[in-house]
Structure 1
Amino acid sequence: MEPTLMGPTLGDVLRDRRGEDWLIGPSSPDFWQRLDNLRPVLAAYQKSCATEGADVLITEADPLQFLIACLAAWSEDCVVVLANPRWGQQERQQVTDLVNPDWNTPTAPGLGTYPCQVSDAAPGQILIPTGGSSGQIKFAVHTWETLMASVSGFCAHFGVETVHAYCVLPLFHVSGLMQVLRVLATGGQLAIQPYGDLKRGAQLGLPPGGFLSLVPTQLQDLLAWEGNVPWLRSFRAVLLGGAPAGRSLLDAAQAAQIPVALTYGMTETAAQVATLRPEEFLAGHRNSGRPLPHVRISILDDGGRPQPLGEVGRVTVQTHALAWGYLGKWDGESGLAVGSAHPTGQSTAAVLATDDIGYFDDSGYLHIVGRRSTKLITGGENVFPEEVEAALLSVEGVQDGCVVGLPCDRWGQRLCALVVLTYPARLSDLPAVLSPLLAPYKRPKRWILISAMPRTAQGKLSRPQALTLAQQILGTG
């Protein structure tokens, strides 16, 4: 792993690519014109905030408008905070508590961009949302340099100089944002499309040798129609991550000769740090592949000592692509802190002790076997059951609640809520009551009414017993 060298800035890239027809789906001329119109507005905003810093929250559902707002603000050295436009009331309140956006005064008419206040931030940082062990939203603090380190490692791993990408993932998420940056920085083309349109068969054109990024549920949907198979085969790689993929799905993809590349990464590491190459997948491998060139991955025991091959331990990642930290607080589990000196460009890269448990086999392939925390992953999204349970317990008549993840080939894990109710609450009413409080992916898909929650002698919730109970009731255990 070599130190990152300083390269072109975002402003340099936008200047060099000015006027290029780089977007497929959205209009490239419209993009450039609107970007030119917005940059002076944000430059003026930056100048007016010279003392305290110019911070911008972007919660924009339209992909083209998101690109324009994000790139305009970022290129003018604003601190950019990305947000999910589908967050519910609870999540929006968390964001308000963290960065205090002025929801009533957008920075530009018609755009979901708002002035906000980010403490201890440096110009040009970009804050990407992720979940925390407490269930609270956290923002991983990245820079153009950390994200470009990831782009360089991606290109080296796949042996490509120009990246063309087909994006159906949300752009506020690291998995969508990195597709944009790989394309933008390497001179490629980017197809952007709502996943629903792709699922209905409205495929966009893309130069040969491109990359498609999916979560397992999406690949399963697309494989259900045989007519999609030739199109899926046309990609250099179909990057598959975000959640565990069921064996039956992977076997079906191999049988159809889909060039799947299983990936492992996270927001803190600017997306993937290990990836199984398509030719290895088609040869029958089922793991997270080998580390990318810009990454060093170690497997450590509880005392921080390296584990031998085949022995499980905590996955630790060292890379120049690592986030500087989390917004505004120390996280003892990760060892990341906002404001600490970041060694990008130096000989030693930053280190992240992840929540994941895994091992390396004799061939150097990484295998992820579980995670230390209670985190659930459904449809490629992180969900912390404590957050959902807190929302449940805020409902009148909900006496007790527990959310577990049922194994599911389609979603990775399917959220199931076990609840204890008192009058006047009814089980059938809970999905509607919970709907405005949480994002759709955090809402349970199965509901079970029980008389008492399994607890330890100390009165603590027993999640393993709750999961076993749910599986017994549903007949899936």
Structure 2
Amino acid sequence: MQSDINWFKNRVSLTPEDTAVIDSNSNDIWTYEQLHQRAKYLANYFVASGVQKGDRVALLAPNHISYFDFFFASMQIGAIFVPLNWRLAEAELNYIIHDCNPKIIGIDPLFQEKLNSIKISTDLIIIDNNRYMDNLPSDYFSYEVMIKEDDPLTIIYTGGTTGRPKGAVLSHRSILWNALNTITSWNLNNDDTTLTCLPMFHTGGLNVYTLPLLLIGGKVVIASEFKAEKAVEDLIKYKCTVVLFVPTMYHMMIQTDAFKQSTFPDMKVFVSGGAPCPHKIYDAFAEKGIAFKEGYGLTEAGPNNFYIDPKDTVYKLGSVGKPMLFNDIKIITDDGETAKSDDVGELLLRGNHAFEFYWNKPKQTEETIIDGWIHTGDLARQDKDGYVYIVGRKKDMIITGGENVYPLEVEHWLESDYDIDEAAVIGLPDDKWGEIVVAFVVLKKEMTESELKSYCKKKLTRYKVPKKFYFLNELPKTHVGKINKQILKDRGLVYKDSTLS
């Protein structure tokens, strides 16, 4: 099917003078019409620079108005927008840039040194302020391009902790249907406002609330970095109604004086995503009577896939809810059969919001999309009422003495002790048991390994109790705030060889 599917142009025609984006650092405000004019200007510059349909244009910058410029300009001319992770090391960035081979890169001067060692002949646009386009030539070109729904619109690179990053290709259809599904399933409207602190090179920053709200006519407040105290202040100042943070961000927020003193009168719901959320964070919001819930997703699917009413979290603690209106789920066992109620299996997802393929990686694409279903690699269970619980990553499951141990269960129990700030559980190889359960903990006050084991034995079956505890000042995190278990495994192997018998 061929059509003009630039939904943003139609949105602008409906509410041209309404506020679309606010920069929380500069307090600059852009209406929908102003956003549209910026995108048109940049699209013309792209065309004048030789960018054609299917060419990549990349951006290396913190959250900034340029993300919308590049995204909507790409939408107009059929280019493919590639937001680059500025937290990556030069070698990783080098790999991604050469993998996607962009015609143009927009770059914040903060990160220009990162490109110095990368041999590229790509044109650069310096993103030095909100008026950076004033320095671009203003010649206008006439261009026509027919765009299909399955044409690529953006490439978001995922992972990288256990191998080369993969570029998940999201089409015009993928992004539109994720937005439609989110609006209808999560009951968003044009009165809603969100704060986007998650980096917009990540699907959580770009696709959870940001683009859905621009489709429905809401407001998006952007922050170039996350600071817990300021995030709370911004939520109140801009009267935000919905927001997404990852558990690490919530962990920092609930400890601030600003959070303790705030009632958040305009907020409908706080959403946690990116990783399973410790129950003590639920408790912090429940004590204040504020709606809080978890979501689940991945770059390859949306990322929005489930809905749960915050009232249901009281008796379905830790559940991500039920499938949204326009996507299907399935949980399968190792033999490929559909899992029975409360049985654990791999979560599969399907819908128009799904990614199209991995850029330059046909083999990995075939291994991930099978018969139309995305194999997530995540383990889940669905209770008799249809509520889904994420148990953990398939690759993280520990098999000790023939018994399955899901690290998340142990982590949740450890973190329910308020003297334990953070916990991460992994499996390490062992000659006798195959694997042993090991925990890394960050403590608020001193505890001994014996005390920790005794605490675990109050709830956990003996084989689930960690054989060894390691004490850290801080758990290593990925670029989006998830605990980096690969680093812990590498560190654990060193510790094990030297200290664990």
Q: Same fold (TM over 0.5)?
A: yes
| Aligned-residue offset at 1:227 | 4.0
2:388 to 366, 380, 399: 366
Give runs of aligned pairs for residues 3-18 of structure 1, distance below 5 A.
9-18=7-16
Does the C-alpha gap of structure 1 residues 14 and 129 become closer, same or farther in structure 2, counting only changes over 3 Å? farther
2:308 & 2:176 partners in 1: Cα distance?
21
Alignment match, 2:91: 90
Alignment match, 1:356: 378
Alignment match, 1:326: 358
Structure 2 residue matching 1:199: 3-state secondary structure: helix
- TM-superposition CA deviations, 1:279-314 (whole Å, max 9, x none): 112456222211111121111112221111111111
State which drifts further: 123-132 or 225-234: 225-234
Structure 2 residue matching 1:39: 3-state secondary structure: helix
2:254 to 223, 237, 248: 223
| Aligned-residue offset at 1:335 | 3.7
Is the 2:53–2:77 contact (alpha carbons within 8 Å) kept by the matching residues of 1?
Answer: no
Alignment match, 1:213: 244
Alignment match, 1:406: 440
2:199 & 2:491 partners in 1: Cα distance?
32
2:327 to 295, 306, 316: 295
Matched, 1:165 2:194: yes
Alignment match, 1:21: 19
Is the 1:19–1:28 contact (alpha carbons within 8 Å) kept by the matching residues of 2?
Answer: no
Matched, 1:140 2:168: yes
Does the C-alpha gap of structure 1 residues 226 and 331 become closer, same or farther in structure 2, counting only changes over 3 Å? farther
| Aligned-residue offset at 1:152 | 1.9
| Aligned-residue offset at 1:8 | 5.7
Is the 2:12–2:33 contact (alpha carbons within 8 Å) kept by the matching residues of 1?
Answer: no
1:362 & 1:442 partners in 2: Cα distance?
30
| Aligned-residue offset at 1:145 | 1.9
Does the C-alpha gap of structure 1 residues 233 and 319 become closer, same or farther in structure 2, counting only changes over 3 Å? farther
1:255 to 255, 277, 287: 287
Alignment match, 2:47: 46
Structure 2 residue matching 1:359: 3-state secondary structure: strand
Alignment match, 2:473: none
Alignment match, 2:76: 75
1:177 & 1:335 partners in 2: Cα distance?
26
State which drifts further: 360-369 or 79-88: 79-88
- Give the partner amino acid of 2:256: W
2:38 & 2:273 partners in 1: Cα distance?
36
Alignment match, 1:397: none
2:122 & 2:170 partners in 1: Cα distance?
26
Matched, 1:110 2:164: no
Is the 2:368–2:375 contact (alpha carbons within 8 Å) kept by the matching residues of 1?
Answer: no
Is the 2:193–2:241 contact (alpha carbons within 8 Å) kept by the matching residues of 1?
Answer: yes
- Give the partner amino acid of 1:235: M
RMSD over aligned CA atoms reads: 4.3
| Aligned-residue offset at 1:463 | 7.5
1:320 & 1:9 partners in 2: Cα distance?
16
* Greater RCO, CA 8 A, separation 6+: 1
Alignment match, 2:454: none
- TM-superposition CA deviations, 1:79-136 (whole Å, max 9, x none): 11121122211211211330234656445443699xxxxxxx9855211121158421
Give the share of equivalent positions with the same residue, in percent. 18
- Give the partner amino acid of 2:8: L
Structure 2 residue matching 1:265: 3-state secondary structure: coil
Is the 2:158–2:299 contact (alpha carbons within 8 Å) kept by the matching residues of 1?
Answer: yes
2:310 to 278, 300, 320: 278
| Aligned-residue offset at 1:161 | 3.4
Structure 1 residue matching 2:297: 3-state secondary structure: strand
Is the 1:261–1:281 contact (alpha carbons within 8 Å) kept by the matching residues of 2?
Answer: yes
1:68 & 1:100 partners in 2: Cα distance?
20
- Give the partner amino acid of 1:372: K
1:36 & 1:290 partners in 2: Cα distance?
40
Does the C-alpha gap of structure 1 residues 465 and 190 become closer, same or farther in structure 2, counting only changes over 3 Å? closer
2:282 & 2:441 partners in 1: Cα distance?
16
- TM-superposition CA deviations, 1:320-357 (whole Å, max 9, x none): 110001111124486447xx9xxxxxxxx942011011
Give the count of matched residue pairs: 390
- Give the partner amino acid of 1:240: S
In the alignment, structure 1 segments of 5+ residues that lack a partner are 114-120, 341-348, 379-384, 386-403, 411-434, 449-461
Structure 2 residue matching 1:61: 3-state secondary structure: coil
Give runs of aligned pairs for residues 418-437 of structure 1, distance below 5 A.
none
- Give the partner amino acid of 1:185: L
